[in-house]
Every structure is written in structure tokens, then in C-alpha cells.
Amino acid sequence: MAAKSYKRLLSLAAFVMPAFILYTLFLLVPTIGGMYYSFTDWNGLNRAYEFIGFANFVEALREDPDFVHSLWFTLKYVMFMLVLQNVFALLLALFIETKFRSKGLFRTVLFMPNMISTIISAFMWTFVFSQVLPQLGERAGLGFLNQSWLGDPGTSFYSILIVSLWNGVGYMMIIYLAALQGVPQSLREAAVIDGARPWQVLRHVTLPMITHAITICLFLTLNGAFKVFEVVYGLTGGGPGRSTQVITLNIYEEAFSNNFRYGYASAKSVILFLVILIFTFIQISITKRREVEA
Amino acid sequence: MMKKKGSVLVGLVLSLALLAGCGSNAQTGTNDGSAAGGEKATSATLKMFIAQPRFKEQYDAHIEKFKAKVKAEKNIDLTVQVEMPNQDNAAQILKTRLASNDAPDLFVIHAINDIPQYSKAGYLADLSDQPFAGKLLDSVKPAVTNSEGQVVAVPLESLSWGYLYNKQIFEENGLTPPATLSEMEAVIAKLNEQNITPFILSYKEAWVPQLFLPLTVGAAIQTEDGMKDFVERMNEDKGSFSEMKSMFDIIDLVNSNGTDRALEVGPDDGAAAFAQGKAAMWLQGPWYADTILKSNPDIDFGVAALPVSENPDASLINLSVSSSMAMYADTKNKELSLEFLNFLLDDQESNVLYEALKFNPIATVHTFKSYPWVDDATAYVQEGKSYQDPRIPQAVKDEVGKALQSYVAGQMDQDAVLKALDKAWKDYNKVNK
């Protein structure tokens, strides 16, 4: 008996090992290395560096207004994304669910933007924002289109949001679609027979039944939105000035331009890691509680 | 079952072969010293790191000549491994190589931006007593000299720049490049009269507005008595950019007479607009010549010095050195590496190399002919109307680009910009004590 369970364990390990080794080598080790460097003043080049304890963390949160600004800006972005991305994705999924004939077509078309790499879609939209929309506004006399989509600090936030949503909604929609298809038809029919209106069916039958999908989508959005980089990098580069700088861009700038403070940049990354960790923990513990099973 | 086992075996063998492949690569990468002389041909390997893939042909040709020379003179079969990564991530790769004891013998770095840092970390060999050092032009030499006065690199690419102007537009309107601020105002007024936009503004990328800083600071250091030691004082936390407030005279003048949507136009779009004659001037260096000519091969443009005050002597050309080749301080191939560096400025071959690369002359041995816009700038340099690009820390240059973007967007006023620059330089001092 003991030999058998040992064998089972061995085969389990054999299956996990290849992935685990790669994971350790390319993710775990660098992560731990980064955490170690966050306590040093290494500049990425010097052979000698010093261990400076929590000084980097204190500096980032207390004496670095740019970092704090980028933190707040990212939080604002996350909040907008969390609500908008999921609402749009759910609405689209519900809309597609009601179709019978052109389901496949709509699904494909709406998912399409997600297949384009984020940075490329950012460059595409740069062209749209800086050339197409202003021209369109001029020719068609739609004044509101002809504005500084990327040059104005206030407007560029919404430009970033538009591109992120365009790119990300499709993916969430697929998850919601899958979940919606898993809701037993019998439950809905029972509710309708009991006299429930469509809104009530949605609110009291469908939504509770797809909470597990909501959990996943919220998690993915939260995680992705905190780590947003390509869209902002491609559209505004954090500019004008630092007005649309997100945390990742701030870290990138600290490590690879400016003063090449790798240690300090690592400390900022660790802060970002902790922030994401806390937020996702809270989110998961809240939404997990609401999940029900049919 | 057997079949499965077989495929597992094949997989294992394949992955082992892969691993072995890695291993043998690492083996060949090691150097076998520079044993010179001997009857039988010895072999040696030189590793170079040149982050300019667009110049591969030119460098390869020069390296071939060097190999032939070494073979003829020392009977060494030289192998040269040249690594040419993209410029964007070259610095990362080079730093990784240096940190992991896998340093190339020779590598190309940026003279103004990189030398202080790399030199301080102890990666650059002192080349002051090499023959090439005596051939460098006096105006170029300081750029490849570190703070201890040692020559540490061979300059490759040098730039003489101010702003670009469309010669055709200037001629049609009977204008010449202005020498003072008020002359510039007159030029702008004349252009506006003719409904020609004076300046292209392309501030989407922060390094473009950043160009104002070296131009204004460099001119001030050169011409104002109180400013001579500005960089040194800033390095000791004793100066302030409030002394430089007059730089906004020209910045405001340019910004208020430029094209629309400055913050949404990238430099490539700017180059296209300039090439199509959408404005008469563009604050940009001749490094965009290629892009401009691609957009409009017939354009006739020149380089002129930007006026920054009412003093005509302060309208100067910025002379800076960018890519330069340095030698790894602990290289095992010292002799051959030094020989190659000297060969870069060889009395005969150097002309061929620099002309093929379309680089500006940087040494006394260079006698080749260059482009019209280079000649424009060289004319200024020969009259002594140039200054060495001031050694402003990269962090401050990054900051000024961002700050001036915010200034254009109306988020920062002049004082806020100057304060941000002071802070950036202080932070730089703090970090690089």
C-alpha cells in the first residue's frame, strides 16, 4: 500500500516537475531576487552595493510624490476598469445569449480586439486619436471629436480607458458567456412560470448562478488593471509630463532611465505586489462568499 | 507502452542535446588569451558589443581589415564576435554582461550619458597613453574624458546641432538664420505675415522638449561669466536652475509660434511635417536627416545655432559625442583590444570607416567630405561658435522633458519646472554620492 502511494506521488511529481522547474527558474527565483534587491541601493551596474533596510520603502511612500501620484492614478484606473469592463462584458454576453442565429458572428467580432497585441492596439488607437477623430470632427462638424485626446491630461485618462476596454472586454465576455450557458434552463423557466419578469430572472436567478464567473472576471480585471503598462506606454507614455503615469511606468522609469536605481525600483515593485495581493484577497473573500450552486 | 517509453526517451535525449548545446556555446565563448607572435599561427577571439545594427556592414568591413592586419603582422588567426543588439535594450544587455562576468572586450557606450557611471563602476580602461588619443580634435576630446582626466573611449558618432531650418522657405522670404532673440522675433513675424508656421512642435516624446536644456544651459555656460561652473556647482548642491530662468525666453517664443497639438505629435510625424514644409524650423538635430529625406528627398535644409538671448555670441552649436567605443578594464585580450581601438583612428582606414558610417570628423586624420547640413554645423564649429555638450545627468534630462511637457499642457509654471529640475539634480547627487 505504502509503495503504491509512493508511486502515485512520484508520477504526480513527474508531471508537475517540468512546469515547476521552469516556474521556479524564471519566476520564483527572480521574484525573490527582486525582493532582496529592494533592500539595497544597487544601481544595476556597480559591483558593490549596500544593504539599507527599509529606506527604499520609506522613501517611496513618503518622499516620492510622483510615485504616490502614480499609485492614486492607477487606483482610479482600476476602479473604472473594474466596473466598466465587467458591466460591458456582462451586457454583451447577455445580448449575445439572446441571439439564436448570429451568436457565433457576434462572439467572434467582439472577441477580435483581444487577439491583437495590446501594444499594437495602442499604436493603432494613437493614430485614431491623433488623426482620424480630429479630421472626422472637422469634416462632419462634430466639435466634440476634435479635441486633444492624448495631449490633454484630463481627456487622456478616458482615451486610455477606451482602448483598455476595447481590448479587454472581449475576453471577459467569453468567460461570462460560458457561465451563462451553464445556467440550467429549467431554473429560468421555473422562475418565469412563477411570474418573474426578465429583470427579476436576471437579478435573482442568472446572476447568483454565475457568481463564480464574476469572481474570476473581477480577479482578472483587478490583477490586470493594476499591472497596466502597454496601453499607457503606447498611447501617452505617461505624459504629458507625468499626468497619466501608472505605477508600472513609474517603476520602469526609475529602473531603466533616471538614475537607474534598481534597488529602489525593486522596492516599488514589491509595494505594487503587496497592494495587488491585499486587494485581490479582499475581493476574492467577498465574492467567494456569494457563490451558490445549483 | 513501449511506444510511450520510446517517445519519452526521445524527448529526454532531445532536451539533453539542447542542454549540451548551451554548454558548448558557453565553452566557445571563453577567450584563449592573446598569445602574440610564434611561428605557428595562434588564434584569439575578440568580443565586441556594438549596439548599432544599422551599421553592421560598415563595421564588418573594418573588422575584416583588422583581421587581415593582425594576421599579417602577428600571425594570429583572429575571430571577432560582434554582438549588435537593438539600441533600445542594448544598455540592459551590456549591464547584464558586465554584472555576470561575461563582459565583451570592447563595447560601445554613450559618451556623455554613460561614461561617468561606467567609469565610476570601474569598467572602463584608461586609454590616455594610446596613440589615438593624440589624434582627437580638441573640441571632441573632453567628451570621452572621465572626471579623473583619463581618456576612456574612442569617439565614433558625434553630433553638431542646434535647430533645423528649411533653406527654401528662408530663401523665398529673404531670411537668414537669426543671431539674437529679437532677430528671431523678426523672422517669426515675417513668417507669420506670409502665413507660414515658424516652428514644428513635436513634444509627444519627452526627449524632444528636453533638447531645450542642453542648448540653453550649454550656451549660458559658454558665454555668461557667472555660469561657467554651473554643472560643477549643481553637482555639489550649490547651484539652482533659478539662475537659468532666462531659458524660458526662447522656449516661450518657440512654443507660442508652433504647430498645433504639440503633445500628440511624435518626432517621426514631426520629421514628415518638416519635410513637407509645414513649418520653417524644427528644434531637432541632424540625426533626423534620414527620416526627413525619406519623406521628401528634395528638401533643402540646414543646421543653425539657436539664439537664446540678445547676445549674438551666445548663439552656438552644441557639439556632443554619442556612441564611443570603450575597453573593458579587466579584459584578457588587452593587446589586441588596444590595437583595434587604435585601428579605428588609423591614418588611412579611419577615413573609409567614418565616411561609410556617415559620421562627422572627430580626429585630425579625418579629411573626408560630409553632408551639407554637417558642413553648416562644421562651419560654426570652425569659427569657434560651439560648445561641448554640458554633462547634465540623464535623470535631469528626463525630468526636463517631462516638466516641459507639463509646462506646455499648462500643468506647471516656470518656477515649478525649475524647482523640479533642482530636485532631480539633488536626487541624482544623493544617489550618486
Query: How does pLDDT run across A192-202, given as a tens digit for each residue?
Result: 899 888 888 88
Chain A closest-CA separation from residue B159 CA (Å): 22
pLDDT per residue as tens digits for the range A124-134? 998 888 888 88
- Looking at residues A172-189, what average pLDDT do you find? 91
Which chain B residues are within 8 Å of A46, Cβ to Cβ?
120-121
Smallest CA–CA distance, residue B394 to chain A, in Å, is 6
- Is B408's Cβ below 8 Å from some Cβ in A? yes
User: Does B121 lie at the interface with A, CB-CB under 8 angstroms?
Assistant: yes
pLDDT tens digits, residue range B116-126? 888 888 899 99
Q: Tens digits of per-residue pLDDT, B201-233? A: 988 888 889 899 988 888 888 888 788 888 888
| Across B270-286, average pLDDT | 90
Flag if A43 and B117 touch (Cβ within 8 Å): yes
What is the Cα–Cα distance from B15 to A240, expressed in whole angstroms?
Answer: 49
Per-residue pLDDT band at B31 (split at 50, 70, 90):
very low
Q: What is the mean pLDDT of residues A206-227?
A: 91
pLDDT of residue B2: 45
User: Where in chain B do CATH 3.40.190.10 domains reside?
Assistant: 28-157+322-345, 160-319+383-432
What percent of chain B is predicted at pLDDT more than 70? 91
Q: How far apart are the first and last CA of chain B?
A: 67
- The reported pLDDT for the residue numbered B201 is 92
CA distance A110 to chain B (A): 29
B370 pLDDT higher than 50: yes
Q: Is B265 on the interface with A (CB under 8 A)?
A: yes
pLDDT of residue B18: 47
pLDDT category at B363 given cuts 50, 70, 90 is confident
Give the per-residue pLDDT at B29. 37
What are the pLDDT digits (tens) for B109-152?
A: 988 888 888 888 889 999 988 888 888 887 788 888 888 888 99
* Mean pLDDT on A23-51: 86
pLDDT score, position A291: 75
Report chain B residues whose CB lies below 8 A from the CB of A63: none
Rounding to the nearest 10 degrees, give the CA dihedral for residues A77, A78, A84, A86. 160
Q: How confident is the model at residue A294 (pLDDT cuts 50, 70, 90)?
A: low
pLDDT of residue B35: 42
Q: Which residues pair with B320 in a beta bridge?
A: B159
Query: What three-state secondary structure class fits A40?
Result: strand
Indicate if the pLDDT at residue B20 is higher than 90. no
No. of helices (H) and no. of strands (E), chain A: 15, 0
Whether residue A240 has a cis bond before it, omega within 30° of 0: yes
- Give the three-state DSSP class for A227: coil
Chain A within 8 Å of B394 (Cβ-Cβ)? yes
**B82 vs B108: CA distance, rounded Å:** 11
Collapsing DSSP states into helix, strand and coil, what is residue B145? strand
A11, A42, A45: best to mutate for the B interface, most B CBs within 10 A: A45
Q: Rounded to whole angstroms, what are the CA distances from A147 to A141, A151, A154, B270?
A: 12, 9, 11, 19
Q: What pLDDT sits at residue B28?
A: 38
Cross-chain CB nearest to A153 (options B265, B395, B411) = B411
**pLDDT (average), residues A81-85:** 94
Between CA A149 and CA A60 the distance in angstroms is 31
CB contact A135 to B (< 8 Å):
no
Q: Give the pLDDT confidence score for residue B282 in this predicted structure.
A: 93
What average pLDDT does this structure show over B79-103? 84
- pLDDT, position B21: 44
On the question of pLDDT at A158 being above 80, the answer is yes
CATH number for the segment(s) B160-319+383-432: 3.40.190.10
Q: Residue A39 in contact with residue A215, Cβ under 8 Å?
A: no
Query: B28-157+322-345 has which fold?
Result: D-Maltodextrin-Binding Protein; domain 2 (3.40.190)
Selecting from B92, B261, B263 the residue whose C-beta is nearest the C-beta of A239 gives B263
Over chain B, what is the mean pLDDT?
Answer: 83
User: How distant, in Å, are the alpha carbons of B290, B296, B352, B428 from that of B293?
Assistant: 5, 5, 23, 38
CB within 8 Å: A46 and B120: yes
